[in-house]
Amino acid sequence: MGVYSCVAVTEQSVLRYADAARPAQQLISQTLTQLSGYALFLLTSRRQAALAEGALVGARQAVTQAGEAVRALQAPEPAAHHYHHMRGAADMLLEACVAATACRGAQDRSDKRFDTLTRALRATSDHLRATARLLPGFELVDFGQACCAVHAPRLPGQGL
Amino acid sequence: MAHYSIWVLEYAAVEKFPFSVMMYGPQHQGTRKLPYAYALLKGGGETILIDTGYDHVAYGKQLANAYGVSNYHGPRAVLAECGVKPEDVTSVFITHAHFDHMGAMHLFPNAKFYVQKSELDKWVWALTLGPEYRFLVGGGDPADIVRAVEAAKEGRMICIDGDQENVLPGIDVHLAADTHTYGSMYVTVRNDGASGEDRWIFAGDLIYTYDNLTGLDPTAPQIVPIGLAVGSQHNLIFSGAEMLKSVGGEVRRVIPVHEDRLRTTFPSRLTDRGLQVVEIALAKGEKSCVA
C-alpha cells in the first residue's frame, strides 16, 4: 500500500513538473527558431537581417524569460534527466543569443563568430530533442496537423 | 534524347491515408496508400534530389506508432537502388519545409539546397507564434531551421526569390505562394534542354494525386485542391492550372510524389525492401533501374 502511494506521489510530482516545464520548453523552441531565422538572414541577406533587428531584441527578452522559467522548475528525481536537458537548452540558448548579437559585426560566413553561433544553435536543438524524447507531451513537431500524417490511424493509448 | 535520368523513389508509406486529405471534398471515399518519396535526377555531372525525405532517428518511432507511417528506409538504402550514395548528391530542390520534404538535409553533406526565400521567412515567423497558432506550423520542425543555418554557414543554402530559369541546366523553379505552404515551389525539368515538349514538373505537395488535376468525373474534368493548406484553395487551383498548362495538358507529366499510381503510369519495380522505384526518364547511356 505504502509503495503504491509512493508511486502515485512520484507520478503526481512528475506531472506537476511536466505542466510547468512544457511552456518553458515551448518558449525555448520558439526563441531558438527566432534566433535561427536571424542567423539565416545574416548569412543569406544582410538587408533582411537589418530589418529583423527587432526580432533579435524580442529574442533577448525571451531568452531571459526562458532562463528564469527553467531555474524556477522543481524537478523530482524521475525528471532529473529531463531537467538536465532543460537547463542545457536554456543555457545554450543564452549563448546563441549572445553569439547572434556578436555576429552582427561579422563580415562574411567564414567569420569565427558564426562557428560559435551555429554550435550554440545546434546544442540548444539537441537538448530540446532530448527533452522531447524523455517525457511524453514535449514533442517538438506537431504531426497531428501535418499534411502527410494528419488523421492517420493512431494506435490505442498512443495519441499525442 | 533525355538530358536527365529521372526516378521517383519511395522511402516510406502510410498504407491507409484518408482520401479526403489528398483531395478536398470526398469525405466518405475511404483511404488510399500514400507513399513518401523523393525524386532523383542524374545528368550532366549532377546528381539532384527533389526533396530530402525525413530522418527516422528524430521522430520515426513517433510517426510509426501514432500515425501509421511504415517501412521507412534511409537515403543510403533507397538511393542505392539507383547506384547513388547520399554523398554523391550535388543539389537538392526543397519544394517546401514540411518534415517529410526537408527533414533530412544533414544526410546529404555535399549538396547545395535550393528553397524559396518566402518559405523559410514565413516558417520562421510561424514557428515563433504561440501554441494557439500551431495549425500554421503543423509538420514543421524547428531543428530543420537550425540545419538550414548550418548549411548556409557552409555556403550550401541558396534562397530563391520567386521564379527562376536554369537554376541548373534545363531546370526552372516556380513559386506557388500561399498555397499548401507559404512559399511552396514546383520544379520544371526541360529534359530536352530546350523549351520543347519533353517537360516534367515536380509538384511537391501542390497536388497529392493526379485526381487533383482531373477531378473524379471523367466526363467533367476539373481541378480540385488538396485537403490541407495554410494558404488558399484559390491559389492551389491556379497553381494546378499553371502546371497543367505548362505541360500542354498532359496530366502524367505533372508528378505528385505521393501518388501511388506512378508505379502503374511509368515503368517501375518493387525492391526487396518493399519500396517502389519508378522510372520517369532515362538519359543516353544510363542503365534502367527497373528492368
The answer to whether B27 faces chain A, any CB pair under 8 Å, is no
Q: Taking a C-beta distance cutoff of 8 angstroms, is the pair B114, B173 a contact?
A: yes
**What pLDDT is stored for residue A154 in this prediction?**
47
Contacts of B115 (CB under 8 A, 6+ apart): B93, B94, B97, B102, B148, B157, B158, B159, B160, B183, B185
Query: Can you list the alpha helix ranges (DSSP code H) found in A45-134?
Result: 46-51, 53-71, 80-103, 112-134
Q: Which three cell numbers stand for residue A72?
A: 524556477
> Among all residues of chain A, which has the CA nearest to that of B121?
A37
Question: Residue B14: in which H helix or E strand, if any?
Answer: strand B5-18
Nearest to B228 among A36, A129, A147 (CB): A147
Task: Decide: helix, strand or coil at residue B245.
Answer: helix
Say what angle helices B117-127 and A2-44 make with each other, to 10 degrees: 150
**What pLDDT is stored for residue A9 in this prediction?**
58
**What pLDDT is stored for residue A2 in this prediction?**
43
The CA distance from A91 to B155, in Å, is 28
Q: Centre a 10 Å sphere on the Cβ of residue B283 and count the other Cβ atoms it contains.
A: 16
Question: Is residue B6 over pLDDT 90?
Answer: yes
Q: Which residues of B46-57 are buried (b: 16+ CB within 10 A; e: fewer)?
A: bbbbbbbbbbbe
| The model's pTM | 0.90
Give the CA dihedral B75, B81, B82, B88, nearest 10 degrees.
30
The CA distance from A83 to A18, in Å, is 10
Q: Which of A28, A31, A34, A36 to mutate to test the interface with B (most CBs of B within 10 A)?
A: A36
Distance from CA of A6 to the nearest CA of B (A): 30
The proportion of chain B whose per-residue pLDDT surpasses 70, expressed as a percent, equals 99
- Which residues on neighbouring strands pair with residue B31, listed in sequence order? B18
The answer to whether A37 faces chain B, any CB pair under 8 Å, is yes
**What pLDDT is stored for residue A48 in this prediction?**
67
Q: Taking a C-beta distance cutoff of 8 angstroms, is the pair B206, B176 a contact?
A: yes
The proportion of chain B whose per-residue pLDDT surpasses 90, expressed as a percent, equals 77
Distance from CA of A2 to the nearest CA of B (A): 35
**What pLDDT is stored for residue A141 in this prediction?**
83
Question: Is residue A91 over pLDDT 90?
Answer: yes
The CA distance from A42 to A39, in Å, is 5
The CA distance from B273 to B73, in Å, is 8
- DSSP-derived letter for residue B159 is E
pLDDT digits (tens, 9 = 90+) for B81-126: 999 999 999 999 999 999 899 999 999 999 999 999 999 888 888 8
- Phi, psi angle pair for A107, to nearest 5°: -80, -40
Interface pTM, i.e. ipTM: 0.85
Amino acid of residue B261:
R
pLDDT digits (tens, 9 = 90+) for A25-69: 999 999 999 999 899 988 987 776 676 777 788 899 999 999 999
